[in-house]
Structure 1
Amino acid sequence: MATNIGMMDSAYFVGRSEILAWINSTLHLNLSKVEEACSGAVHCQLMDAVHPGMVPMHKVNFDAKNEYEMIQNYKVLQDVFNKLKITKHIEVSKLVKGRPLDNLEFMQWMKRYCDSVNGGGLHNYNALERREASKGGKEAGKKSAPSHSSTKGSTAAPKPPSSHARRNSNDVPSSVNTTNQSAKTSSKSSTSVYDEQITELKLSVDSLEKERDFYFAKLRDIEILCQTPEIEDSPMVMHQW
């Protein structure tokens, strides 16, 4: 089973819509963008579907939002790759950034790999049940470990606020709070617009770079071909040089 798939393989020509349909139908999800799977949890569950019992699902965080949480999911995925002797390199630093092209390429590879394992179909796999079991394990772990704040609360009763503190809090004008909230909302909306523009520019640059590399490789192949003894002395090649 090949795990290193060349960039010109047909796997990398599968479109986003087909990839999304495959993920959503296989795992009973409702993703609208491939990069929404950048946390690594989806990849772990896909491996769980094709290799039952190989993925420690209780370690997979489906609610990962921060990069350090996503990295933990990719560590689980890398451990599974190592156990299965899969040599595919996982570019974690790029995937966790949510870059569309990087996430699409890795998911294209995932689909090709999963298809090669099960022949294109996943049978008798209850994706919802496996996710709930994973989340249930995490909740049980949280309940069994009392927090530091709750321990302190059991030994000392909270102090009521002093009359001075209550008076200061009441003195804050409501107009100031309203102004601060509107400023924060405006800032968030502006940041969101900039983030979308940056993502589009990055995607455009990535596409141009891949197109450049593709045509350069073709030109290099032609150059090498023209230098072979059988072709180098042909009239057409001699005329060109």
Structure 2
Amino acid sequence: MAINVYSTNVTSENLSRHDMLHWVNDTLQSSFGKIEELCSGAAYCQFMDMLFPGSVPMKRVKFRTNLEHEYIQNFKILQAAFKKMNVDKVIPVDRLIKGRFQDNFEFLQWFKKFFDANYELRDYDPIEARGDIGLGSGVNDMTGFIAPPLPRPPATRPVKSMQPPSVARPGLGAARPGAGAVKPLSGSRPDGNSSRVDELTNQMMDLKLTVDGLEKERDFYFGKLRDIEVLCQEHEGEAPVIQNILNILYATEIPTDDITQLELEEDVENNSTF
């Protein structure tokens, strides 16, 4: 059974975000670029498999995903492993899957203490254990694990939208046709050109992360809208508010006035229950 830890995140023993990220990547042979990426829950599932072999069904873990419902599935697997090993920690799934730094950093700080309290040295190949699947934003889908990406400026936070336009993924190899992963330039190039290429590479990586975020937002809100649509269809005709909601869902243009919103609010007040 596991040794439970209850220390808070405010202690002198805590590592910096960079040290924590290095520990995760070094232990799992992964290539996470930032703490927020741990919101998928996959890394924690593998940590549990490393600490307590057989506690996690590794084939069910989604290691390469940007979908929130698959994040939730990973954390359900993690919670089941916690229960199996009598770990008392309650996982704040709703907060972690949102990908905010503070929530994920605090949970990682706790997990690092939990890991240190329970770790026993044994032979363990993390890449083989997850079926040679890459883990982290620095993973190339064609080749698996590669070195962590170059330092980059913080990604612009995606603007939330209920109907974001379809965005094409930028190709990292577009600037050099036929090339695979971006490689460091040789020392024979002038320093100016090398710095410029590094800057453009960082910008492309930043754009890719931004697009990934936009697509995740789009998929999340589309799923919400689909759930609302199904619920309304099941109760269609039972209350005027249902039809108003369906009208909004099926509208092809954004209303230019507040009439629809006002009607919806009035119907909600008059029909508090279906």
With the shorter chain as reference, the TM-score category is 0.5 to 0.7
CA distance in 2, matches of 1:78, 1:67: 16
- Could you give the per-residue CA deviations for residues 117-142 of structure 1, whole angstroms, max 9, x where no partner exists? 126xx54110010111789xxxxxxx
SS in 2 for 1:3: coil
User: Residues 73-222 of structure 1 correspond to what in structure 2 (within 5 A)?
Assistant: 73-118=74-119, 122-132=121-131, 192=210
Residues 66 and 184 of structure 1: CA distance in aligned 2, closer, same or farther (over 3 Å) = closer
Which sections of structure 1, spanning at least 5 residues, go unmatched? Answer: 136-182, 197-241
CA distance in 2, matches of 1:77, 1:28: 20
Residues 95 and 6 of structure 1: CA distance in aligned 2, closer, same or farther (over 3 Å) = same
Q: TM-score normalised to the size of structure 2?
A: 0.47
SS in 1 for 2:73: helix
Residues 40 and 117 of structure 1: CA distance in aligned 2, closer, same or farther (over 3 Å) = same
CA distance in 2, matches of 1:134, 1:47: 17
CA distance in 2, matches of 1:74, 1:14: 24
Please tell me whether Structure 1 or Structure 2 has the larger radius of gyration of its CA atoms.
1
SS in 1 for 2:91: coil
- Could you give the per-residue CA deviations for residues 44-85 of structure 1, whole angstroms, max 9, x where no partner exists? 001111111111111101122111111000000000111111
Q: Does structure 2 retain, via aligned residues, the 8 Å contact 1:27–1:128?
A: yes
Which sections of structure 2, spanning at least 5 residues, go unmatched? Answer: 135-164, 171-206, 215-274
CA distance in 1, matches of 2:69, 2:53: 26
2:32 alignment partner in structure 1: 31
2:46 alignment partner in structure 1: 45
CA distance in 2, matches of 1:134, 1:30: 12
CA distance in 1, matches of 2:166, 2:40: 27
Residues 26 and 15 of structure 1: CA distance in aligned 2, closer, same or farther (over 3 Å) = same
CA distance in 2, matches of 1:47, 1:41: 10
CA distance in 2, matches of 1:22, 1:94: 23
1:219 alignment partner in structure 2: none
Q: Does structure 1 retain, via aligned residues, the 8 Å contact 2:21–2:32?
A: yes
Q: Does structure 1 retain, via aligned residues, the 8 Å contact 2:29–2:126?
A: yes
User: Residues 4-23 of structure 1 correspond to what in structure 2 (within 5 A)?
Assistant: 4-10=6-12, 13-23=14-24
Matched, 1:71 2:72: yes
SS in 2 for 1:29: coil
- Could you give the per-residue CA deviations for residues 163-216 of structure 1, whole angstroms, max 9, x where no partner exists? xxxxxxxxxxxxxxxxxxxx9669x97xx59x89xxxxxxxxxxxxxxxxxxxx
Specify the code of the residue in structure 2 equivalent to 1:132: G
Q: Does structure 1 retain, via aligned residues, the 8 Å contact 2:9–2:109?
A: no
CA distance in 1, matches of 2:81, 2:96: 18
- Could you give the per-residue CA deviations for residues 83-122 of structure 1, whole angstroms, max 9, x where no partner exists? 1111111111111110011111111111111111126xx5
Residues 185 and 70 of structure 1: CA distance in aligned 2, closer, same or farther (over 3 Å) = closer
Q: CA deviation at 1:37?
A: 1.4
RMSD: 3.0
Structure number with the higher helix fraction is: 1
CA distance in 2, matches of 1:41, 1:48: 11
Q: TM-score normalised to the size of structure 1?
A: 0.53
